[in-house]
Amino acid sequence: MNLLEVRQLRVAFRLDRKSTAEAVKGISFDVPRNATVALVGESGSGKSVSSLAVMGLLDAAAVVSADSSIRFDGRELLALNSKQRRALCGKDIAMIFQEPMSSLNPVFTVGAQIAEVLMLHLRMSRAQARRRTLELLEEVGIPDPALRIAAYPGELSGGQQQRVMIAMAIACEPRLLIADEPTTALDVTIQQQIMELIARLQKRRAMSVLFITHDLGLVAQIADHVIVMRHGKVREAGPAQQVLNQPADAYTRALLHCRPTLDARPHRLPVIADYQTGIPAEPDGIASMDSRVRKSDGKPLLEVRNLSKSFYLREGWFGQREIKAVKDVSFTLARGQTLGVVGESGSGKTTVGLTLLRLHQASGGSAMFDGRDLLSMSAREFQAYKRRIQIIFQNPYASLNPRFTVGDILLEPLRIHRIGADNRARAAMAHALLDKVGLPASAYTRYPHEFSGGQRQRIAIARCLTLQPEILVCDESVSALDVSVQAQVLNLLRDLQDELGLSYIFISHDLSVVKYMADQVMVMRQGAVVELADADALYRNPQQPYTRALLAAIPGHG
């Protein structure tokens, strides 16, 4: 008998009094006892809505069809009242959410939030709950549990926040664990640890897992069964090895092949549309070795020497503690080339980018750009250089002003830097940029919330291009995107580099993506450079144990 049985699940959302939008369109699937089932699909496929329906966490605008059925251990969940549902889902069914910062309460310590679950569902005393909380924090790999138990969510890194969410979810030893994209924004080594942790918990506790992800490559090491969804319907389902090795559906093949690999660097990454238009389904049909002619004269455009950045935390009444985020980092970037910067959270890679843009004040070192030191010039002098070095931030949802139309977003930097003769000329430039990044002219009058994550990132790229920069700092700019959308944005970045001769500082924790983009790779750890080498040489023969550990942690590589 299966632990979870979903039959003909239909979920629609009320848009207004008369109309609804159907997000899940009559799907059926099972989660066997003591097994892991992966629910795979892109944003908008309905996979997260399906999991929220199981948990009873759909919002008030959602309508579940009367003929839908969700049975847990033979018990019909849709027939339970809210109190019965809360008791069951708090203890026997638990969920790890994708975005920990919106799930954790910022005004309570992480220890208090885990202890609350234990006291509420297992009736533990405060002392018992504290001891168990320390054990859970250690089990999920939080460093210094005795210290971190008193930390607030905002004091932890994204990876640590997600570990806290996992500790909270497994606290009551649930029989079914639903993991909704739990590793999407995590470093490869932490991702590997989380995947191994979930697999270990599943076996030790005889627990069933419903693992939701957009990355088919990730599920190979954990899933027994795979269900592929698109547009609210199941496209393919079956044993993991069958679906992954012999996919029957073109969409499944597309998901498998859109992601960059370490084996080859294609000229372009395949996208979903390629498989719908009949281009050969095997990657060899699309992914020839990189034959681009790079527009580079080999001369240094940016020379960074001994870059350092420290932050200071207050200790006691008068003391302060120095945290060295970046330690004597040096590198050279040539025109038309890409430097990949990789490392785990806290390695200092993002701080390097923000310091070069003077969003952080450097503690030491120099950054020579066209003969001038970016770090020592006055604010007035740097104003002219802001046009020449721009940044694409990680989160396209937070980096665009929700009150501005796309046209306003593109016109603002043009006006500030007095580019274009008048507003009509600037509008023409903005429309040309929308076309360049693959967005329709109608996007000009629309707002950011009307676009998908991939489209928003294209808007962010277009905004950077308004100033005709020479260097773009891409700070995890594709890490939050679905694999097919990620492929589209990576193809766009390479096309722009070919056309405009742009230089990239490409910051990422995803070594497969960096392999596809970078000419040189700089590996960072704890603020220092561990290894710096030509991309092909580094991936073929890494010299440092830390680099080898990062590569080994990539799903399917180690």
525-549 residue pLDDT tens: 989 999 999 998 998 899 999 988 8
Say if residue 373's pLDDT is above 50: yes
Query: What is the per-residue DSSP string for 315-360?
Result: ETTTEEEEEEEEEEEEEEEETT-EEEEE--TTSSHHHHHHHHTTSS
322-364 residue pLDDT tens: 888 899 999 999 999 999 999 887 788 989 999 999 999 999 9
Q: Which of 460, 511, 513 is nearest to 491 (CA)?
A: 513
pLDDT of residue 298: 65
Say if residue 301's pLDDT is above 70: yes
pLDDT of residue 296: 55
133-161 residue pLDDT tens: 999 998 888 888 999 999 998 888 777 88
Interior angle at CA 477, CA 471 and CA 481, nearest 5: 150
> 266: which DSSP letter?
B
6-44 residue pLDDT tens: 999 999 998 878 888 899 999 999 999 999 999 998 877
pTM: predicted TM-score of the whole model, two decimal places: 0.80
Percent of the chain at pLDDT > 90 equals 39
> CA torsion sign, 324 to 328 to 329 to 333?
positive
478-528 residue pLDDT tens: 877 778 788 888 988 898 898 889 999 999 888 888 989 999 999 999 899
pLDDT of residue 213: 87
pLDDT of residue 353: 92
Mean pLDDT of 292-319: 78
57-77 residue pLDDT tens: 888 888 999 999 999 999 999
Position 315 confidence tier, pLDDT thresholds 50, 70, 90: confident
Q: Which residues lie below 8 Å from residue 200, measured CB to CB, with a gap of 6+? A: none
Position 465 confidence tier, pLDDT thresholds 50, 70, 90: confident
Q: How far is residue 334 CA from its own chain's centroid?
A: 28
Position 278 confidence tier, pLDDT thresholds 50, 70, 90: low
pLDDT of residue 295: 52
378-413 residue pLDDT tens: 988 888 888 899 998 877 777 888 899 999 999 999
Q: Where is average pLDDT lowest: 3-12, 186-195, 274-283? A: 274-283
pLDDT of residue 555: 67
Say if residue 297's pLDDT is above 70: no
Position 294 confidence tier, pLDDT thresholds 50, 70, 90: low
The pair of three-digit structure tokens given for residue 478, joined into one six-digit string: 């594709």
CA distances from 89 to 10, 86, 163, 173, 176 (A): 21, 5, 20, 12, 9
For 384-463, list the strands marked E by DSSP.
389-392
pLDDT of residue 386: 85
> CA torsion sign, 292 to 298 to 301 to 302?
positive
Going by their DSSP bridges, the two strands 471-475 and 62-64 should be labelled as unpaired
Q: Which residues lie below 8 Å from residue 322, measured CB to CB, with a gap of 6+? A: 310, 311, 312
**Euclidean distance between CA atoms 68 and 10, whole angstroms:** 6
Say if residue 280's pLDDT is above 50: no
> What average pLDDT does the chain have?
86
**Euclidean distance between CA atoms 423 and 419, whole angstroms:** 10
164-174 residue pLDDT tens: 988 898 888 89
Mean pLDDT of 240-251: 90
The pair of three-digit structure tokens given for residue 387, joined into one six-digit string: 């046009």
Phi, psi of 37 (to 5 degrees): -115, 130
Position 284 confidence tier, pLDDT thresholds 50, 70, 90: very low
Do residues 212 and 178 lie in contact, with contact meaning Cβ atoms separated by under 8 Å? yes
Mean pLDDT of 363-372: 91
